[in-house]
């Protein structure tokens, strides 16, 4: 997944099946559940579901999916489930009670003579920025994404592979749709899907809308790949033609990187709306990626959005096909262990980023500026003094929704970006150790490649990662990764940037990437000069512990009102930082803190500072080779 930005398998046999035996299934076939979802009210942000669930007299225990694949936490949007009602087929209403120890579990009393229970429920899509991932805002007046985990219950005691769902869906009139789910029949506004396992159903969200564009990305080839894009306007679906060429290149370049595909067909489900949650979520045969309405047609937004689709596509190989054993759970109630997210997400982040260079989404300079941006913020992460990188992965189920204030001290989901730097380092070590004969591409072909075919899960452990690395290039990989995951700095791991022939430097020139981030995300970046991240209105979102602003007493939540006596703006602050280079007068900040005003004087005279990569001519330029098309 990708949190945007500050940042599941089929009727095929799963390896996990053998690990779990159904509690009450001995000798009887797993239930076959019918599910009808009425999305006609999607513009009102409400979805109605009706299920028929086989049952026996006694207590029927039903679960609402809690641990959603790819979300890495117990994030199933239980707070958005409403209208829950159970009845017999003859219409007798049944009493139910929520489990006192697990709010996602319901117990229904089933009377004698009953073989099937009808369940009714509504999923209420949150509005605005509330909720994340499949629990985030998912519908507008013109489009919607349906994630099946949000609109169903399943009986306890079976694995998600064992349960079969007959799903059907009614759409708002005239809305088109895209999905990786096999369609059995389609008439007017109603779609009947082929019976699939619960695993496969959750793996196959449906995108739908009035404006829906389908773009084949590898015409005539197998397995087929297409992009199904829904937007809030037709205009949002009409970018320059080279945009489609980059996505076609992405499919070609990913195919060359991994050497085989693990899907029957693949759908990029791409939402363009300012009124849905923005994120990316991976599946075996699709991804649910959502950005603002103008993400394809506005060049700045297109640049900033680059990397999202490549990241989610890479997950089909790294995360879905190859998955850490402890992230591979039999159902949606068993907790996931997230300690290997530095492979699941970190390697995906690295590969997704370098593919933006290989497919042409970013020029080499744009790629380097983005890499410098990442390295710089991680190089100003004092939180690593108390919290190592491993803990950012271990802690994610309980704290992934932490606020952005104090992020440099708290640390965040650093196993994405910091492991991008670490996997770059691995790539350079492989190239150096093999004198340019091998690269991380070789690791990917062994770890993620042939034989291809329909979706399946092949689990791995830390040892499997080390063994494959050693197969490509013998090295002390255990020592390398242990060091990377448990160190306390100081500073970011820059060995990959330096080993690939480049150096991280700071100067007073804001790169295109820095400017784009600031204008689009509404930030003012003075992090590397005085240690302040601000909003355009002067609100302090973060301070870098140990740097001048923090030392002076400024903290997140305060608001800079004026700089050297003039009302705050990004330009006013930047001008003052520049002028301070030629002056011994301290930088004066008037700051409001919980209704009180204070003046802080910062004895700072080193000007603006923004990150760049510059060439180290003493070393070969491996980085340019890494991002070159294959």
Alpha-carbon distance of 609 to 184, in angstroms, equals 58
Residue 54's beta-bridge partner residues? Answer: 116
Stretch of residues binding Zn ion (CB under 5 A), selected from 1-9, 368-376, 389-397, 471-479: 1-9
| Cβ 136 vs Cβ 288: under 8 Å | no
**Edge-to-edge, what's the strand order for the sheet holding 143-146?**
143-146, 206-209, 176-179
Select 159 or 310, whichever has its Cβ closest to Zn ion: 310
Question: Do the Cβ atoms of 542 and 406 come closer than 8 Å?
Answer: yes
Rank residues 159 and 348 by Cβ distance to Zn ion and give the closer one.
348
Residue 125 vs 289, nearer CB to Zn ion:
289
- The DSSP bridge pattern shows strands 266-272 and 225-231 to be parallel
- Residue 499: cis peptide before it, omega within 30 degrees of 0: no
Please report how close the Cβ of residue 314 comes to Zn ion at its closest, in angstroms.
8
CB of residue 568 to Zn ion, shortest distance in Å: 36
The mark string for 191-230 relative to Zn ion (x by CB under 5 A, - otherwise) is: ----------------------------------------
| 345 vs 417, beta carbon nearer Zn ion | 345
Joined together, the tokens standing for residue 172 give 């708002």
211: part of which helix (H) or strand (E)?
A: strand 211-216
Which parts of 344-403 interact with Zn ion (CB under 5 A)?
A: 345
Residue 535 Cβ, how far from Zn ion at the closest point, in Å?
27
Least distance to Zn ion, CB of residue 318, Å: 9
Closest CB to Zn ion among residues 1, 492: 1
In the complex with Zn ion, the residue whose CB is nearer, 184 or 399, is 399
Number of residues that bind Zn ion (CB under 5 A): 2
For residue 49, give both structure tokens: 């579901």
| Minimum distance, C-beta of residue 3 to Zn ion, in the bound complex (Å) | 9
Interacting residues of 86 by C-beta distance below 8 A, sequence separation 6+: 93, 94, 96, 108, 117, 118, 119, 120
Beta carbon of residue 219, minimum distance to Zn ion (angstroms, whole number) = 28
Phi, psi of 587 (to 5 degrees): -75, 125
User: Which pair of tokens denotes residue 10?
Assistant: 């089929």
Given the complex with Zn ion, which of 1 and 231 has the nearer CB atom? 1
Least distance (Å) between residue 512 CB and Zn ion: 25
Q: What is the 3-state secondary structure (H, E, C) of 316-371?
A: CCECCCEEEHHHCCCCCCCCCCCCCHHHHCHHHHHHHHHHHHHCCCCCHHHHHHHH
In the complex with Zn ion, the residue whose CB is nearer, 1 or 181, is 1
Pairing assessment for the beta strands 206-209 and 211-216 based on DSSP bridges: unpaired
- Token pair, residue 241, equals 């033609």
Nearest distance, CB of residue 138 and Zn ion, angstroms: 19
578 within 8 A of 479, measured Cβ to Cβ: no
* Closest CA relative to residue 211, chosen from 186, 238, 189: 238
* 588: β partners: 601
Around Cβ 64, how many Cβ atoms within 10 Å?
Answer: 25
Q: What is the rounded distance in angstroms from the CA atom of residue 612 to the CA atom of residue 514?
A: 10
Residue 104: name the closest of 55, 156, 52 by CA.
Answer: 156
Phi, psi dihedral angles at 36 (to 5 degrees): -120, 125
To Zn ion, the closest distance from the beta carbon of 15 in angstroms equals: 21
Residues 324-353 that bind Zn ion (CB under 5 A): 345
Nearer to Zn ion, 1 or 198 (CB): 1
Query: Per the structure block, which two tokens stand in for 235?
Result: 């205009």
* Least distance CB 39 / Zn ion (angstroms): 27
CB 244 within 8 A of CB 268: no
Report the nearest approach of Zn ion to the CB of residue 113 (Å). 49
- Residue with Cβ nearer Zn ion (114 or 289): 289
CB 60 within 8 A of CB 53: yes
In this structure, the chain runs to a length of: 630
Regarding 1 and contact with Zn ion (CB under 5 A), the answer is yes
| Strands in 546-609 per DSSP E | 559-563, 566-567, 587-593, 596-602
Residue written as token pair 């080193």: 606
Give me the phi and psi of 389, to 5 degrees please.
Answer: -60, -40
Is 345 or 420 the residue whose CB approaches Zn ion more closely? 345
How far is 245 from 249, CA to CA, in rounded Å?
Answer: 6
Whichever of 133 and 568 has its CB closer to Zn ion, that residue is: 133
Least distance (Å) between residue 311 CB and Zn ion: 6
Nearer CB in complex with Zn ion: 148/342: 342
Sequence-ordered list of residues with C-beta below 8 angstroms from that of 570, at least 6 positions apart, any chain: 518, 524, 534, 536
CB of 96 to Zn ion, least distance (A): 36
Residue 156 or 282: the one with the smaller Cβ distance to Zn ion is 282
Residue 260 Cβ vs Zn ion, minimum distance, rounded to whole Å? 21
| Shortest Å distance, C-beta 2 to Zn ion | 5
Q: Which is nearer to Zn ion, 47 or 263 (CB)?
A: 263
Residue whose Cβ sits closest to Zn ion: 1
> 255 is written with which tokens?
């195919």
> Would you say 70 and 233 are in contact if contact means Cβ atoms under 8 Å apart?
no
Residue ranges in contact with Zn ion by CB under 5 A: 1, 345
């Amino acid at each position: 997944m990708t949190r945007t930005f500050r940042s599941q398998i089929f009727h095929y046999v799963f390896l996990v099946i053998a690990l779990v035996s159904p509690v009450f299934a001995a000798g009887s076939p797993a239930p076959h559940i019918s599910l009808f979802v009425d999305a006609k009210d999607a513009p009102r942000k409400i979805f109605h579901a009706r299920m028929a669930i086989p049952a026996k007299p006694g207590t029927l225990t039903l679960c609402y999916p809690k641990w959603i694949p790819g979300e890495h936490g117990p994030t199933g949007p239980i707070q958005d489930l409403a209208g829950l009602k159970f009845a017999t087929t003859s219409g007798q209403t049944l009493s139910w009670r929520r489990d006192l120890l697990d709010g996602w579990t319901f117990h229904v009393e089933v009377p004698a003579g009953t073989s099937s229970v009808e369940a009714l429920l509504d999923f209420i899509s949150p509005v605005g920025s509330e909720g994340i991932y499949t629990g985030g805002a998912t519908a507008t007046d013109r489009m919607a994404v349906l994630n099946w985990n949000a609109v169903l219950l399943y009986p306890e005691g079976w694995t998600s592979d064992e349960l079969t769902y007959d799903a059907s869906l009614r759409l708002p009139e005239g809305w088109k749709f895209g999905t990786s789910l096999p369609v059995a029949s389609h008439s007017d506004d109603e779609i009947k899907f082929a019976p699939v396992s619960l695993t496969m159903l959750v793996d196959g969200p449906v995108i739908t809308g009035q404006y829906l564009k389908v773009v084949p990305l590898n015409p005539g080839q197998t397995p087929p790949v297409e992009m199904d894009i829904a937007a809030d306007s037709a205009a949002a679906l009409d970018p320059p033609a080279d945009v489609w060429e980059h996505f076609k290149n992405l499919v070609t370049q990913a195919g060359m990187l991994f050497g085989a595909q693990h899907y029957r067909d693949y759908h990029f489900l791409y939402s363009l709306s300012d009124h849905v949650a923005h994120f990316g979520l991976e599946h075996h045969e699709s991804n649910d990626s959502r950005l603002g309405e103008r993400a394809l047609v506005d060049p700045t937004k297109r640049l900033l959005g680059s990397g999202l689709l490549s990241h989610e596509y890479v997950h089909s190989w790294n995360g879905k096909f190859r998955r850490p054993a402890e992230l591979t759970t039999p159902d949606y109630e068993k907790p996931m262990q997230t300690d290997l997210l530095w492979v699941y997400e970190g390697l995906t982040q690295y590969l997704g980023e370098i593919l933006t260079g290989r497919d042409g989404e970013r020029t080499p300079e744009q790629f380097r500026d983005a890499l410098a941006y990442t390295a710089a913020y991680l190089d100003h992460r004092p939180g690593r003094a108390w919290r190592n990188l491993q803990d950012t992965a271990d802690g994610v189920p309980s704290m992934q929704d932490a606020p952005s204030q104090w992020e440099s001290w708290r640390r965040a989901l650093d196993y994405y970006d910091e492991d991008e730097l670490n996997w770059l380092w691995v790539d350079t070590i492989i190239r150096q150790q093999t004198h340019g004969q091998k690269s991380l591409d070789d690791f990917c072909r062994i770890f993620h490649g042939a034989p291809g075919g329909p979706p399946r899960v092949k689990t791995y452990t830390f040892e499997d990662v080390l063994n494959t690395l050693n197969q490509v290039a013998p090295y002390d990989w255990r020592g390398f990764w242990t060091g990377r995951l448990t160190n306390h700095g100081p500073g970011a791991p820059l060995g990959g940037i330096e080993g690939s022939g480049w150096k991280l430097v700071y100067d007073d020139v804001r790169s295109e990437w820095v400017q784009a981030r600031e204008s689009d995300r509404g930030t003012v970046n003075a992090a590397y000069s005085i240690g302040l991240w601000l909003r355009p209105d002067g609100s302090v979102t973060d301070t870098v512990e140990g740097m001048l602003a923090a030392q002076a007493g400024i903290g997140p939540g305060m608001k800079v009102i004026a700089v050297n006596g003039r009302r705050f703006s990004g330009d006013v602050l930047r001008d003052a930082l520049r002028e301070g280079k030629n002056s011994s007068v301290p930088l004066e900040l008037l700051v409001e803190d919980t209704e009180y005003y204070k003046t802080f004087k910062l004895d700072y005279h080193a000007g603006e500072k923004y990150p760049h990569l510059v060439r180290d001519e003493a070393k070969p330029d491996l980085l340019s080779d890494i991002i070159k098309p294959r």
